[in-house]
Amino acid sequence: MFQFLRKRRPKPVSAELQAALESYRENGYAILRGAIDPELCERFWDDVDEALAGQPDLRIVAGGAPVLNAERSVPFGPLWNGAGNPERIIDIEAHVSRTPELMLHSDVTAFLAEAIGGAPTCIQTLTYSHSSQQSAHSDKHLVSPRAAGAYNRETLIASWIALEPADDANGALIVWPGSHRLPKKRLRDDFSGKYGAYVAYLETLCADEGIEPIRFHAQQGDVLFWHGDLVHGGGEITDKSRTRKSLVSHYAALGKGAESHWDEKRITPFGAGSYFSPV
């Protein structure tokens, strides 16, 4: 006798996830409240502190340029001397093994799989102790990690995980709802890399379309997703005594059988997604 295998039915989407997907498609961003266990957030940052203390090849953007941890003489954090935005660690997953538990958390990948329409690959992470204070911008043509090559930028999505509460005083994240649907000029092609002119253009573009910015007040463990072409930024820090620790991850659908475009990185599966890890 022949045995016929029953076709597995797709897992139903929860009401919370469905609401997040509807917000993402309409507004270009979505929020999952309390998705990450606060204890995991704390353990992750303990690991970050250990990496900062003992990993000389950790890469940190300081004053707009990447430097190795071994070359630094100041603690990781904000640059109050006017040399640039607060610092950020590039690809902390290469040094902290716990990172995939956050960037590819089951709730995160469940959202991404529906929003992207395929298995997500984390192509880059940025770790902050303070608000980036970065002015209005779109990631679509700026996020270009070497290992990802010429990936499909139409599938680019970011997640921002609040590792501690965020509000106006410590620099809440800012988004311009619906701005992902607006055609945009590019920083390098249309403004010759002049960031101030690019920011002014985006702010005027959104204002002309009646799009007002909103600030995301977060609790520890909240996750905010945004479309790759959504205009967003980091709020100004008014209380310099406070940190605003966060993990930003960028994802794309690289397709089945995708390989790294850089021989120092390889694609590593984790849960329902994957990421680039050092060879």
Q: Give me the pLDDT at residue 150, please.
A: 95
d(CA 143, CA 118): 20
Per-residue model confidence as pLDDT tens digits over 82-117: 545 689 999 999 999 999 999 999 999 999 999 999
Nearest to 105 by CA among 36, 44, 31: 36
User: What does the block give as tokens for 209?
Assistant: 């379309």
What spatial distance separates the first Cα and last Cα of the chain, rounded to whole Å? 49
DSSP 8-class letter at 166: B
Per-residue model confidence as pLDDT tens digits over 192-244: 999 999 999 999 999 999 999 999 999 999 999 999 999 999 999 999 999 99
DSSP 8-class letter at 70: G
3-state SS of 247-262 is EEEEEECCCCCCCCCC
CB 169 within 8 A of CB 22: no
pTM for the complete prediction? Answer: 0.93
Radius of gyration of the chain from Cα atoms?
19
- Structure confidence at residue 79 as a pLDDT band (50, 70, 90): low
DSSP string, 221-278: T-EEEEETT--EEEPPPS-TT----EEEEEEE---TT---SSTTEEEEEETTEEEEEE
CB 239 within 8 A of CB 169: yes
DSSP 3-state of 174: strand
Per-residue model confidence as pLDDT tens digits over 17-62: 999 999 999 999 999 999 999 999 999 999 999 999 999 999 999 8
Nearest to 110 by CA among 120, 98, 101, 95: 120
Q: What is the mean pLDDT of the chain?
A: 92
